[in-house]
Amino acid sequence: MPPEPPAQDKAIANRVFKQGQDAIRAVKRPVSKKTLSKKTATLTEQEAWYEKRVRAAATELHDYYRQMALAGVSPNMDRSNVAGTYGTEITQSWRSPGGLTLSEVEDLHNLGRGRLFYQPPNEDRSWGRNVYQTAPQKRDKMPFLNLGPDARILYNEWDENRSYFHAKDQPYEMDMMAERGTPFAIMEADGPILIDRYRTGVTEGNALRISFEIDGRPKVGLFLHGLDVFPDYLKTAIQEDGEVTVQPKQPIFFVGTTGRSVGVPPGAHPHMAWIHEGYMEEMARLRQQSSPGQQRLPDWMRRALGIRAEELKTNYPR
């Protein structure tokens, strides 16, 4: 197990973002015009200090959770019993630019054992790609982490420059790239978030169905490729097919590479497929307002997922 965050214990780190936000709101309260000019510099200084404190604590907690998650994955798990063929298998012949074999790369990244396939170009893409395939951990052997009921994160740590919407064979489904082991949460919702389905397979890996309301409207998404470790408050959903509710900002899973992913080592990401009524029509309307090669995101999605960008790139022909 990794050491606790050095600057403050985990309980303080869990609380500090709320304390900081409350403090920021306090210094932002309206003041009279008479005193505004005198207080502006002080308010700006206080706000910057609190924001810096909050961000530092949130980043430290993120790193702590990521270390916990990666340390909790069973090492050297044999994932190579993968059914199906997804192109030409190159598991034994592939070499990295530095000359490493696939098993050496897997050991370097604690991936266990998988299979690697090459897929040639097709009508959806003009380039070939390597697809890494692993079998996720069996649910009765899934490890769980005790994060505590009050665990919260301040933001989802996306690499938005590498994130994208899929090509036309999976319209408006998205890959949000992040470092392996990064905690994920629904950042904003009207109330509790429901996890009511867990499925596992060699394509989707560890997959959850997540439902919530935002602005009074229901949203339902499938989230794939989760890491082979979960918070312990999800045990009912993972091992017993039960329903679990969590709160906004409460970690739900850790970003992983289980199932079928592109690249070696595969780029860690949750594949997100939104399935609530009206989603496809909403995204099609926004596509008409998007920049070339980009897809505009609805406001609710940016708030719920904590995405800063207004648009993400796509693989769609324009």
**What CATH number should be reported for the domain holding residue 199?**
2.70.70
* pTM of the entire predicted model: 0.82
229 CB burial (10 A radius; 0-12, 13-18, 19+): buried
**In terms of residue numbers, what domain contains 19?**
10-70
Length of the chain: 318
* Together in a domain, 221 and 231: yes
* Together in a domain, 116 and 243: no
* Together in a domain, 112 and 176: no
In a domain, 142, yes or no: yes
* Together in a domain, 120 and 173: no
Q: Would you call 239 helix, strand, or coil by DSSP? A: helix
In a domain, 1, yes or no: no
* Together in a domain, 34 and 47: yes
* Together in a domain, 157 and 125: no
* Together in a domain, 164 and 305: yes
* Together in a domain, 210 and 172: yes
Counted domains in the chain = 3
Give the span between the Cα atoms of 73 and 109, in whole angstroms: 11
* Together in a domain, 157 and 289: yes
**Residues 22-25: contacts with CB under 8 Å, at least 24 apart:** 23/50, 24/50, 24/51, 24/54
In a domain, 80, yes or no: no
Q: Are 261 and 166 in contact (CB under 8 A)?
A: no
Q: What pLDDT is stored for residue 7 in this prediction?
A: 46
CB atoms within 10 A of CB 253: 26
In a domain, 75, yes or no: no
108 Cβ contact list (under 8 Å, min separation 6)? 100, 265
Per-residue pLDDT of the chain (318 residues; tens, 9 = 90+): 445 554 444 554 455 445 444 444 444 444 444 444 554 555 566 666 666 777 777 788 888 888 888 888 876 566 666 656 678 899 999 999 999 999 999 888 878 788 899 988 877 677 788 888 888 888 888 999 998 888 999 899 999 999 999 876 678 999 999 999 999 999 999 999 999 999 988 889 999 999 999 999 999 999 999 999 999 999 999 999 999 999 999 999 999 989 888 887 778 999 999 999 999 999 999 999 999 989 999 999 999 999 999 999 987 543
Give the span between the Cα atoms of 17 and 192, in whole angstroms: 19
304 Cβ contact list (under 8 Å, min separation 6)? 186, 187, 188, 189, 212, 214, 219
In a domain, 77, yes or no: no
The two structure tokens encoding residue 148 = 């505590």
* Together in a domain, 147 and 282: yes
Write b or e for each residue in 234-251: b if 16 or more Cβ atoms lie within 10 A of its Cβ, otherwise e: beebbeeeeebebebbbb
In a domain, 79, yes or no: no
In a domain, 2, yes or no: no
Which of 70, 102, 117 represents a domain boundary (last residue)?
70
Q: What pLDDT is stored for residue 203 in this prediction?
A: 86
Q: What pLDDT is stored for residue 53 in this prediction?
A: 72
